[in-house]
């Protein structure tokens, strides 16, 4: 499952869930790649997320895929670590910049 919330210039990834029987087979990476492509296609230049401290594997997944820890941008009972990743520009954006 994947969900994103939109903010001016960035999207917030609110949930990534891979069923236990499918973990370790690249499902989380595929979901992250899909949501990043979706967010970039919608005009987001970066994507943010938060995670609980006990989600060690999830936080490692985010780090492996280029997310870096940042200061808190949200609050909530389960927001204990915050991450952000700059998204690659769209092809048409690169062409317009030339």
**Model confidence over 23-62: pLDDT tens digits?**
889 988 999 999 999 889 888 999 999 999 999 989 999 9
Q: What is the overall mean pLDDT for the chain?
A: 84
Other Cβ atoms within 10 Å of 90 Cβ, number: 15
pTM, two decimal places: 0.78
């Amino acid at each position: 499952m994947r969900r994103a919330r939109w903010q001016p210039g960035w999207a917030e990834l609110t949930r990534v869930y891979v069923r236990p029987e499918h973990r370790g087979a690249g499902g989380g990476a595929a979901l992250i790649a899909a949501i990043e492509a979706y967010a970039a296609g919608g005009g987001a230049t970066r994507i943010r997320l938060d995670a609980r401290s006990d989600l060690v594997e999830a936080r490692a997944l985010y780090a492996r895929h280029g997310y870096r820890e940042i200061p808190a941008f949200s609050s909530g009972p389960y927001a204990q670590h915050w991450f952000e990743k700059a998204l690659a520009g769209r092809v048409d954006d690169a062409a317009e910049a030339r």
